[in-house]
Amino acid sequence: MSGYLSRVFEFAVPCLLFWGVLAVSVSVDRSRFRNCIYLLLAAASTAPLFCVLSGRHALGTSRALSILIFVVLLSVPFVLIENGVIMYRKEGRSLANMLSLIMGILVGVGELCFFLFFIFPIFWSDQNSDFITAGMKVLLFISLSVMYVSVVFVSFMSYTVLLQLIPRKRDFDYVIIHGSGLLRGREVSKLLADRIDKAIEVYEKDPTPPILIPSGGKGHDEEISEAEAMEQYLIEHGIPQDHIIREDRSTTTRENLIFSKKIIDERAADPYVALVTSNYHVYRALSLCDDIDLECTGIGAHVARYYWPSALLREFAAIMSKKKNLLIFIAGWLCSVIPAMDVVMWRVIQ
């Protein structure tokens, strides 16, 4: 084998193994969080392969890639903080809306610490060596921790995107539409309209028009049930009434799914079901489906671009707040940051 081919082969083998592990794991159980990590590993192993594919220009490609990554990383805090300001203006002040601002500040602080970590040794002298070393350890710890959280979040975000890219057959039997809060007690919000529009799109592309199940009960501050408002919207947009079955008893996402499942089970033995929800929510929704044994395909509706980062962060926080996931998150943090600190400090001290 020529040198080029053998080089490509050497990097292609582990890369394919990583993608293989991801493919198998996703097909067996798409709701496991570990799939996010597998995706991260597969993507990471593709980078050296990509560089090696450019043959003689491998070094140049790897440098260009590194610069690109560096520039993207530097821009993240600015993008997030700007998004936080937009969220404040458009959606008002609440913790959920401030998540991107907080994350932006966190990443910014982490990057600053990283930068300072490299600057610190310049001020080293015999008198302040203890202070410098201690300071470097603190700076390294903060930057590595921020790096860890960011990496886990980015892998979650990528996986959310991947879940929506998985190709699917179009001939659904039933399409559940995940409801959300109404405006002024009876109107469909932009967020909800986006979901219903997506469901309509699925309906129109389906060779055998499915039954749509708008799902959502009546909240305290609502005049009509979410399902009723959604049904009106659907009819206004040309969906025939006999293709709509309301599910109007649920008050949580879990109930959305359980009651919709009941409706379907009463009517069909082996249905091909789709669940339409906002794109950032697909992971959690599918996870709930798997919990209640509802086999369905997740379809993500478009969400206003400015809304997406905070929503995704909120999803991430919700997933991490489950005890099992939190424990694993902390264990991962200890297992990666502490040895990494050891290795970096050991190298730097020399």
Which of 13, 69, 96, 166 is close enough to bind another protein by CB under 8 A? Answer: 13
Number of residues engaging another protein in binding (CB under 8 A): 19
CB proximity list for 84: less than 8 A, separation 6 or greater:
98, 99, 100, 101, 102, 104, 310
Closest CB 162 distance from another protein, rounded Å: 17
- Reference 179, options 210, 225, 134, 221; nearest CA is 225
Which of 5, 17, 96, 317 is close enough to bind another protein by CB under 8 A? Answer: 17
Q: Does 240 bind another protein (CB under 8 A)?
A: no
User: Which one of 6-14, 161-169, 196-204, 249-257 is the stretch in contact with another protein (CB under 8 A)?
Assistant: 6-14
Nearer to another protein by Cβ, of 189 and 287: the residue is 287
Closest CB 36 distance from another protein, rounded Å: 14
Closest CB 175 distance from another protein, rounded Å: 28
Nearer to another protein by Cβ, of 16 and 224: the residue is 16
Q: How far is CA 299 from CA 112, 161, 170, 245, 285, in A?
A: 39, 11, 11, 19, 10
Q: At 245, which amino acid appears?
A: I
- Reference 299, options 272, 274, 280; nearest CA is 274
Q: Does 41 bind another protein (CB under 8 A)?
A: yes
Residue 243 · residue 208 · CB < 8 Å: no
Q: How far is CA 340 from CA 58, 141, 332, 337, in A?
A: 27, 9, 12, 5
Q: Does 58 bind another protein (CB under 8 A)?
A: no
For residue 273, the SS3 value is: strand
Q: Does 25 bind another protein (CB under 8 A)?
A: yes
Q: Does 145 bind another protein (CB under 8 A)?
A: no
Which residues contact another protein (rule: CB under 8 A)? Answer: 6, 9-11, 13-15, 17-18, 20-21, 24-25, 28-29, 38, 41, 45, 48
